[in-house]
Amino acid sequence: MPSAASRGQGQDRRSESEESSAADDYAKERYGVSSMIQSQEKPDRVLIRIKDLTVEKADEVVWVRGRIHTSRAKGKQCFLVLRQQQFNIQALVAVGQHASKQMVKFAANINKESIVDVEGVVRKAYQKIGGCTQQDVELHVQRIYVISLAEPRLPLQLDDAVRPEVEGEEDGRATVNQDTRLDNRVIDLRTSTSQAIFCLQSGICQLFRETLIRKGFVEIQTPKIISAASEGGANVFTVSYFKSSAYLAQSPQLYKQMCICADFEKVFCIGPVFRAEDSNTHRHLTEFVGLDIEMAFNYHYHEVVDEIADTLVQIFKGLQERFQTEIQTVNKQFPCEPFKFLEPTLRLEYREAVAMLREAGVEMGDEEDLSTPNEKLLGRLVKEKYDTDFYILDKYPLAVRPFYTMPDPVNPKNSNSYDMFMRGEEILSGAQRIHDPQLLTERARHHGIDLEKIKAYIDSFRFGAPPHAGGGIGLERVTMLYLGLHNVRQTSMFPRDPKRLTP
């Protein structure tokens, strides 16, 4: 009891002294929680981006908005790290002309991840500040107002979330497991690694568009609610559609082909694709973004293969030039060799791949599909000989491709179809499509497909169709493999898999 009493007394005394000092807090106006911004006013205040705070701005007074990344109080001063996207700067609140003891205490107690407006003087740092992107300057705070307060307990710590995974869990430092990340995706996406990944992904889409538009392609939009399953009946999501049911598109293929039949000649589309595959692997999602290309050609489907491969090479080159910072940021957490490629892209034939695998001791049949381990092994063999992470495998056996694939004109066991690989994993699958309704009917029958169900598809070729070929790329896989990441969930902002439908 006495101890409790004395503690109570002590508390009283402290709050008393605080009250008395609050009265003569000379910096009272220089800090606090600002009222909720409800667009009351349009002040002339200019907010400077943290990434623009460099030595050129030394001794200037600036306003900055950022999140409290970390804070550390030490006697009469408090060090804050303010973060804005992947950039951060050290800020110092010290008792002096502008800040009182109370202000320092206030600053030190702002919860991490809160958003603050800070006015301060940019000062040249005496020595490089490690752990900050703005290493040469720091901010001497004169005013600090909380704009949006974060809750005190964070579901995950940002510093833990960017820590490289060290083998053997060295020195027991915490990392964050994938489910915790995905459950709290909003916070996980704030990390420098996530910021870089999704900037780069946006770059892939942009480069894809840029390159194809330059090549004379037309961007199209295709419906995602469809009446018939596009690639056979399996793996399709059924949705209720008024009094009947409909399906979610597994690929925009049918519509791309219809555009070709409608004389658009070269089309592409970027959109969601749905696969009801119950596979929980590192590279399968139930919804992903498809980058799809379809193109009419003159005489040989290699015209299309070359165009698609060149598009990818232009994307790789563009990423290499424009996104070096992002690549390096991701590399800090997930170290990986830079992505290598050849121009023009190396094109091997399926039979060569089989020969290479057999030479390496793999037993497989001529018309057998590549298993995932064989795909990986082949990737290593090709890399060793040609030093490229990207190549095309042409002329797949007809037996392992869908019914609409054009058979090879010479060897009926082969087909005019191809896959493209990045770091030994398939990213694109494509083929010359059969544009002749009669042959298409024949092939569908051979595959035991109910002709009634694909009548609309076959009918679209009845009024004259140009020879054409195309393919589809998975955006998340390209991002993952370009950066050498190991799970496609890292490159999907809000991934959907058989076990995850939220957030």
Partner 1 sequence: MPSHLFSERLLCPLSHRNSKEEVDPSLQALESHQEEILKRLYELKSAVDGLSKMIQTPDADFDVTNIIQTDECSPLTTTGADLDLMLGKDYGALKDIVINANPSLPPLSLLVLHSLLCERYKILSAVHTHSSVKSVPESLLKCFGEQAKKQPRHEYQLGFTLIWKDVPKPQMKFSIQTMCPIEGEGNIARFLFSLFGQKYNAVTSTLIDSWVDTAIFQLKEGSSKEKGAVLRSMNAALGKTAWLVGNELTVADIVAWCALQQTGSANAAPANVQKWMKSCENLAPFSSVMKLLK
| Total binding residues toward partner 1, as defined by CB under 8 A | 26
Token digits of residue 295 = 């193109």
Token digits of residue 160 = 């833990």
- C-beta of 16 vs 387, nearer to partner 1: 387
Binding to partner 1 (CB under 8 A) within 400-429 occurs at 410
- C-beta of 25 vs 408, nearer to partner 1: 408
Residue span binding partner 1 (CB under 8 A) among the ranges 4-12, 48-56, 140-148, 341-349:
341-349
Identify the CA nearest to 399 among candidates 360, 370, 441. 370
Binding to partner 1 (CB under 8 A) within 108-147 occurs at none
328 binds partner 1 (CB under 8 A): no
How far apart CA 420 and CA 347 sit, in angstroms, is: 9
359 binds partner 1 (CB under 8 A): yes
CB–CB of 121/140 below 8 Å?
Answer: yes
Q: Would you give the binding string for partner 1 spanning residues 260-299, x where CB under 8 A is met?
A: ----------------------------------------
How far apart CA 341 and CA 314 sit, in angstroms, is: 11
Active site residue 429: yes
Token digits of residue 294 = 């379809």
b/e sequence 380-399, b meaning 16+ C-beta within 10 Å: ebbbeeeebbbbbbbbbbbe
- C-beta of 77 vs 331, nearer to partner 1: 331
Choosing from 79, 255, 288, 339, the residue that interacts with partner 1 (CB under 8 A) is 339
Please identify which of the residues 163, 209, 284, 347 carries the catalytic annotation: 284
Q: Residue type at 198?
A: F
How far apart CA 177 and CA 160 sit, in angstroms, is: 10
317 binds partner 1 (CB under 8 A): yes
| 352 CB neighbour count, 10 Å cutoff | 15
482 binds partner 1 (CB under 8 A): no
Shortest distance, position 307 Cβ to partner 1, whole Å: 17
310 binds partner 1 (CB under 8 A): no
Provide the 3-class DSSP secondary structure of residue 330.
Answer: helix
How far apart CA 489 and CA 471 sit, in angstroms, is: 23
Active site residue 277: yes
368 binds partner 1 (CB under 8 A): no
Q: Kind and range of the H or E element at 121?
A: strand 115-124
- C-beta of 108 vs 362, nearer to partner 1: 362
Please identify which of the residues 138, 294, 426, 476 carries the catalytic annotation: 426
End-to-end CA distance of the chain: 50
Active site residue 275: yes
Residues that bind partner 1 (CB under 8 A): 316-317, 320, 339-344, 346, 349, 351-352, 354-356, 358-360, 381, 384-388, 410
**Residues with catalytic roles:** 275, 277, 283-284, 426, 429, 477
